[in-house]
Amino acid sequence: MTDSAAPHYPSVQAIGIVGLPEIEPGANLGRLIADAAARQGTPLMHGDILVVTQKIVSKAEDRVVALNSVEPSEFAAAYAAEAGRDPRLVELVLRESAAVVRMDAERGVLITETHHGFVCANAGIDMSNVPDEDSACLLPVDPDESARRIRADIEARSGVAPPIIISDTFGRAWRDGHVNFAIGIAGMDPMVDYRGTEDAHGRTMHVTTIAVADELAATAELVTAKAINVPVALIRGLPYRAAASSTAPLLRERSRDMFR
Amino acid sequence: MTDSAAPHYPSVQAIGIVGLPEIEPGANLGRLIADAAARQGTPLMHGDILVVTQKIVSKAEDRVVALNSVEPSEFAAAYAAEAGRDPRLVELVLRESAAVVRMDAERGVLITETHHGFVCANAGIDMSNVPDEDSACLLPVDPDESARRIRADIEARSGVAPPIIISDTFGRAWRDGHVNFAIGIAGMDPMVDYRGTEDAHGRTMHVTTIAVADELAATAELVTAKAINVPVALIRGLPYRAAASSTAPLLRERSRDMFR
């Protein structure tokens, strides 16, 4: 507070981590990320938060599936024929899903709830940025566990244990365009709770809980642009609440879901 | 590309703008923001983007309504009684809405489509951070126009015309916690379109359009925390596509809405 050299305004920086190799199954992502950050002159520091895009996590965990290994069910084949989609991909989406939220062949829409509880298009499966044209990339089996492992591997390599957020691209019910949100987290509270705090007028604020993990995922997307090879972002300067954490608080309970 | 002094990784900074006065109706926000940025030693530069939180825009535009001036309809009064809410506030929400999307007194939920086309809780009306306890703050009448005006006023004051995003807090259908998204924009394309571009493997990517204006609003929230007096954020370092723009591309057309 009394350090006159410190800026008196809040400032947060998002830095893309470049120079990671093509990720192979079994890769030690934490080690690769720590090394890449150091190589580019931005070694991980205490207080940093890391956002890791889902695709490299799935690749490291061997979640890339060859489509010719997939036998579509009759149900998948019928929908795929009507929607003009690959029946093997539809089959994978259904396998990765606990429930179908919207299925509309005419619009080509297949929105499901994944086994993790994420409501998203195509169970988060996508076919871009995988080496083989005839393969598809599934979400990690347990992205919170993935985040914990990456965090431990980074600590083992660098001595720093930044919170880890694993991000993926989501549509929204009433807005066009996609944004990145969190699908896995380790080491920080995904929420900032303003309920009960006082506003600038000393009045108690009533409603707002901010999903800071989702805002961090969205921030990271600004530097981890899709088509270029920047799969990780380092966020520097944001105070956070350390916690053993999971994405569970970000997921609306089904009993409170008004939109399915 | 050949400047060896330039960092070879992407980097984006979010800087909170502090020291704005309490905003009164008729305030020249653009001028106040440009001056505050200069005062704190981060004067606006070419390439900057500004995110302005909705509340100060509404205040400058005199969108704060005294609740005792509001006569609730019978419909509003009946819902309010059942939901345990202020009938005058419910009346304001309905007046600000073109359609009700979900109305559930038991859960106290009132999700509507505003006249602008935003689907959100309570038509974006809120009661925190307004000086008078018995008043409520409505969204700007035309947030795109607000953004254009702020932009022109900043240019007149500082000679720099940064894109302006006006942000507000949104819930999501299937995720808990709130995030900030864009409700107004001027000077940049709110979308980044990756469709047809090639991924790192030279394959054409098929689906993703990123709502970069929403990601910028979310990023800004990291430094414009609710309870403290930081109503504006400056985003520095993000390449953007200059455009005469509006929030219209961010709003899903009703004919494509599968969730109401």
Residue of A nearest to B36 (CA): A9
B126 in reach of chain A (CB within 8 A): yes
A245 in reach of chain B (CB within 8 A): no
CA–CA distance from A86 to each of A72, A95, A105, B142, B207 (Å)? Answer: 9, 15, 12, 43, 15
Confidence of residue A201 (pLDDT cuts 50, 70, 90): low
Q: Whole-number mean pLDDT of chain B?
A: 91
A2: pLDDT strictly greater than 50:
no
Confidence of residue A3 (pLDDT cuts 50, 70, 90): very low
d(CA A100, CA A108): 14
H or E stretch at B180:
strand B179-188
Q: Which of A79-93, A189-203, B193-207 has the lowest mean pLDDT?
A: B193-207
Report the pLDDT value the prediction gives residue B3, as an integer from 0 to 100. Answer: 47
d(CA A64, CA B190): 32
Determine the residue among B56, B107, B175 to mutate to test chain A binding: the one whose Cβ has the most chain A Cβ atoms within 10 Å: B175
Q: Whole-number mean pLDDT of chain A?
A: 91
A195: pLDDT strictly greater than 90:
no
Residues A173, B219: C-beta atoms closer than 8 Å = no
A228: pLDDT strictly greater than 70:
no
Decide: residue A251, CB within 10 A, 0-12 exposed, 13-18 middle, 19+ buried.
Answer: middle
- List, for residues B128-150, the tens digit of each pLDDT value: 667 667 899 999 999 999 999 99
- List, for residues B55-93, the tens digit of each pLDDT value: 999 999 999 999 999 999 999 999 999 999 999 999 999
Give the predicted TM-score (pTM) of the model.
0.94
Nearest chain A Cα distance for residue B67, angstroms: 17
Whether A216 contacts A205, CB under 8 Å: no
Q: What is the DSSP string of A31-68?
A: HHHHHHHHHTT----TT-EEEEEHHHHHHHTT-EEEGG
Among the listed residues A220, A18, A249, the one whose alpha carbon sits nearest the alpha carbon of residue B222: A220
Q: Which of A44-48, A192-196, B34-38 has the lowest mean pLDDT?
A: A192-196
A39 in reach of chain B (CB within 8 A): no
Among the listed residues B130, B155, B159, the one whose alpha carbon sits nearest the alpha carbon of residue B58: B130
- List, for residues A4-16, the tens digit of each pLDDT value: 554 589 999 999 9
Report the pLDDT value the prediction gives residue A254, as an integer from 0 to 100. Answer: 87
Angle at B160 between CA B159 and CA B165, to 5 degrees: 140
* Helix spans in chain A (H): 29-39, 54-60, 74-83, 87-95, 143-158, 212-221
B49: pLDDT strictly greater than 90:
yes
| pLDDT average, residue stretch B241-247 | 94
Confidence of residue A18 (pLDDT cuts 50, 70, 90): very high
d(CA A156, CA A32): 12
Contacts of B223 in chain A (CB under 8 A): 9-12
| pLDDT average, residue stretch B29-52 | 97
Residue of A nearest to B10 (CA): A16
A176 in reach of chain B (CB within 8 A): yes
Nearest chain B Cα distance for residue A175, angstroms: 5
A145: pLDDT strictly greater than 80:
yes
- List, for residues A172-184, the tens digit of each pLDDT value: 999 999 999 999 9
Contacts of B209 in chain A (CB under 8 A): 176-178
d(CA A211, CA B45): 30
B115: pLDDT strictly greater than 60:
yes
Confidence of residue B126 (pLDDT cuts 50, 70, 90): confident
Residues A175, B238: C-beta atoms closer than 8 Å = no
Neighbouring CB atoms inside 10 A of A3's CB total: 7
Domains and CATH numbers, chain B: 11-63+140-250 (3.30.1330.100), 64-139 (3.90.1660.10)
A141 in reach of chain B (CB within 8 A): no
Contacts of B229 in chain A (CB under 8 A): 200
B259 in reach of chain A (CB within 8 A): yes
What percent of chain B lies above the pLDDT cut of 70?
A: 89
Residues B258, A173: C-beta atoms closer than 8 Å = yes
B122: pLDDT strictly greater than 50:
yes
Whether B199 contacts B205, CB under 8 Å: yes
Report the pLDDT value the prediction gives residue B2, as an integer from 0 to 100. Answer: 44
Report the pLDDT value the prediction gives residue A7, as an integer from 0 to 100. Answer: 54
Nearest chain A Cα distance for residue B18, angstroms: 6
Q: What is the ipTM of this complex?
A: 0.94
Report the pLDDT value the prediction gives residue A204, as an integer from 0 to 100. Answer: 58
Contacts of A99 in chain B (CB under 8 A): none
Contacts of B4 in chain A (CB under 8 A): none
Report the pLDDT value the prediction gives residue A32, as an integer from 0 to 100. Answer: 98
Contacts of A111 in chain B (CB under 8 A): 258
A17 in reach of chain B (CB within 8 A): yes
| pLDDT average, residue stretch A207-223 | 94
H or E stretch at B135:
strand B135-137
Residues B174, A257: C-beta atoms closer than 8 Å = yes
CA dihedral B245, A180, B209, B123 (to 10 degrees): -50
